[in-house]
Amino acid sequence: MDVHEYQAKELLASFGVPIPKGAVAFSPDQAVYAATEMGGGHWAVKAQIHAGARGKAGGIRLCRSTHEVREAANDLLGRRLVTHQTGPEGKPVQRVYIECADAFERELYLGIVLDRKVERVRVVASKSGGMDIEEIAATDPDALLQVVVEPAVGLQAFEARELAFQLGLNIKQVGAAVKTIMSAYRAFRDCDATMLEVNPLVVTRDDRVLALDAKMSFDDNAMFRRRAIADMHDPSQSDPREAQAAEHNLSYIGLDGEIGCIVNGAGLAMATMDMIKHAGGEPANFLDVGGGASPQRVATAFRLVLSDQNVRAILVNIFAGINRCDWIAEGVVQAAREVKIGVPLVVRLAGTNVEAGKAILEKSGLDLITADTLTEAAEKAVAAVRAAH
């Protein structure tokens, strides 16, 4: 789960990470009021979306008057901001963050990430702030400073101090940087985050070290114990189909292909998409209906898949263990009655109550294509798409 910049900064500030003064606004009037209340003569108006590279896309405006603040907020609010991380469809801007734009001397980079490969938390820092981490890694990999945290003891102050010295900070700045790094690590650890990025982390003329930007992502599986963070979720930033799937306890991720997939089990869903690719097709989605899917959930899965206008065929692949093939078959029949499918439907059933499931499909009179193996099902789905073209 992702949160907005202003939400990430609120969390960081609660753990002691210094941040500039700022306030969120949902209208131009609120933006002007926030700038007036903060005082000063320079402000940044930042579009709040779940994506990076906002500055390059015109999503961050520097203003020298409240009139410019109003114009910037009016221009950003209600538009779809397109960056290289959002894709061509962009993301809607429904709120902006007004922040004091105080002068600073240096931009640094600080990131904390859960490195699943080594099963450790990795802290990454660089002297090159304000750039994408991928760009830093490609142009100057030696500039990346890294600490792999020992989980038994956590990040130690001496490790943060070594990073601060390697960043070229003076003695006074080192003390401020160590506090910021340690506080950011505690926020990452105690909030069940999987990624925290401060880019840039800036050094001011009076030797303060501030988080000028912040991005945080969290472990979805831990949100049951982080209700305050879960409540920060902004559905407008997600694919509407993914939000609808979550409401029905379905795991759905939209892709760019033409063959919709309805599968039980994440591993089998991945294998199904691989087999479609192997057969020469492109999957339109990842969709796991789970181990105990009812006919109602299967019907909901059909509606989600068919809401994608690019879908030219649907492949249902069920290997029932906890689940039951007759439940899935009932769900297919129910979906066909409630929703006009309108595309070729390939069904492969195996496992618990498979004969009962096949009998239900046969008696339904539905125009569908059956298969006994995953390979056969994938090949028939790809052939159906090609025939439709």
Catalytic residues: 109, 197
Q: Which pairing describes strands 313-320 and 345-351: parallel, antiparallel, or unpaired? A: parallel
* Measured distance CA(63)–CA(216) in Å, rounded: 26
Residues 185 and 155 sit within 8 Å (Cβ to Cβ):
yes
363 annotated among ligand-binding-site residues: no
10 annotated among ligand-binding-site residues: no
* Measured distance CA(355)–CA(320) in Å, rounded: 12
Residues 112 and 86 sit within 8 Å (Cβ to Cβ):
no
285 annotated among ligand-binding-site residues: no
- Cα angle: 76, vertex 77, 81; to 5 degrees: 55
* Measured distance CA(282)–CA(133) in Å, rounded: 30
Write the single-letter amino acid at 42.
Answer: H
Q: Which two structure tokens, joined as six digits, stand for 375?
A: 């390979």
258 annotated among ligand-binding-site residues: no
* Measured distance CA(332)–CA(309) in Å, rounded: 20
Residues 97 and 48 sit within 8 Å (Cβ to Cβ):
yes
DSSP H/E element including 197: strand 193-204
102 annotated among ligand-binding-site residues: yes
Q: Give the phi and the psi of residue 273 in degrees, each rounded to 5.
A: -65, -40
DSSP H/E element including 145: strand 145-149
107 annotated among ligand-binding-site residues: yes
Which stretches within 198-265 are classed as H helix?
227-230, 240-247
Q: Which pairing describes strands 369-371 and 345-351: parallel, antiparallel, or unpaired? A: parallel
* Measured distance CA(9)–CA(197) in Å, rounded: 11
Residues 250 and 304 sit within 8 Å (Cβ to Cβ):
yes
190 annotated among ligand-binding-site residues: no
In DSSP terms, 113 is beta-bridged to 122, 195
* Measured distance CA(340)–CA(294) in Å, rounded: 20
| Residues placed in the known binding site | 46, 99, 102, 107, 199, 213, 264
| Residues placed in the known binding site for substrate | 264
| Residues placed in the known binding site for ATP | 46, 99, 102, 107
| Residues placed in the known binding site for Mg(2+) | 199, 213
